[in-house]
Amino acid sequence: MRHISDYIPHRGKMMLINELVHADEKQAISSVTIGADDLFATKKGVPAFVGIEYIAQTVAAYSCAKDGNVGLPKVGLLLGSRRYQSEIDFFPLGVTLTITVNPLYLDDGALGVFSGNIMIKDKNVVSATLNVFQPDDIINHFTMTK
């Protein structure tokens, strides 16, 4: 696979996932190894609530790969989560997380709903449902709606 920056618009320390492992019409799988120098790292690891952003960035990578926009990732917005359940408080330093997202609903416009899971080895540690929005042209979308 290509570098993760070809699939998500995030840059610098906000590029939280390390790799897009797989993407097709039905799902995307990414991974991240938790490091002490990660943006949200503490002595205990990365707080589990950051998992919502790992899932959201995997959704962004899914969207880019599905639409064939590799190298030209579009900006999207996380509108919210209906459910975010974590079995742990922190993602421990040194572990590799596997993040899987599946589209539950995609309209012809810009709205989508995705299920997401985060695994450590064979154990599911986070489950969530995310609502997302990705207009074709985010700048014009917000300037036109004023």
Q: How many helices (H) and strands (E) does the chain have?
A: 2, 8
Q: Encoding tokens for residue 100?
A: 């899987």
In CATH, 4-144 is 3.10.129.10:
yes
- 101: how many CB neighbours lie within 10 A of its CB? 27
- pLDDT of 140 > 60? The answer is no
- pLDDT of 138 > 60? The answer is no
pLDDT for 94:
98
Residues 88-107 pLDDT 10s: 999 999 999 999 999 999 88
Average pLDDT score over residue span 113-131: 97
Q: Encoding tokens for residue 131?
A: 């609502």
More confident residue, 11 or 41: 41
Burial class (CB in 10 A: 0-12, 13-18, 19+), 130: buried
pLDDT for 14:
79
Residues 33-77 pLDDT 10s: 999 999 999 999 999 999 999 999 999 898 877 766 665 566 777
pTM of the model: 0.87
pLDDT for 63:
84
Q: Are 109 and 63 in contact (CB under 8 A)?
A: no
Per DSSP, the three-state class of 61 is helix
- pLDDT of 26 > 70? The answer is yes
Contacts of 100 (CB under 8 A, 6+ apart): 27, 28, 29, 58, 116, 117, 119
Question: Mean pLDDT over all residues of the chain?
Answer: 87
How far apart CA 80 and CA 108 sit, in angstroms, is: 20
Weakest mean pLDDT among 11-15, 20-24, 38-42, 49-53 = 11-15
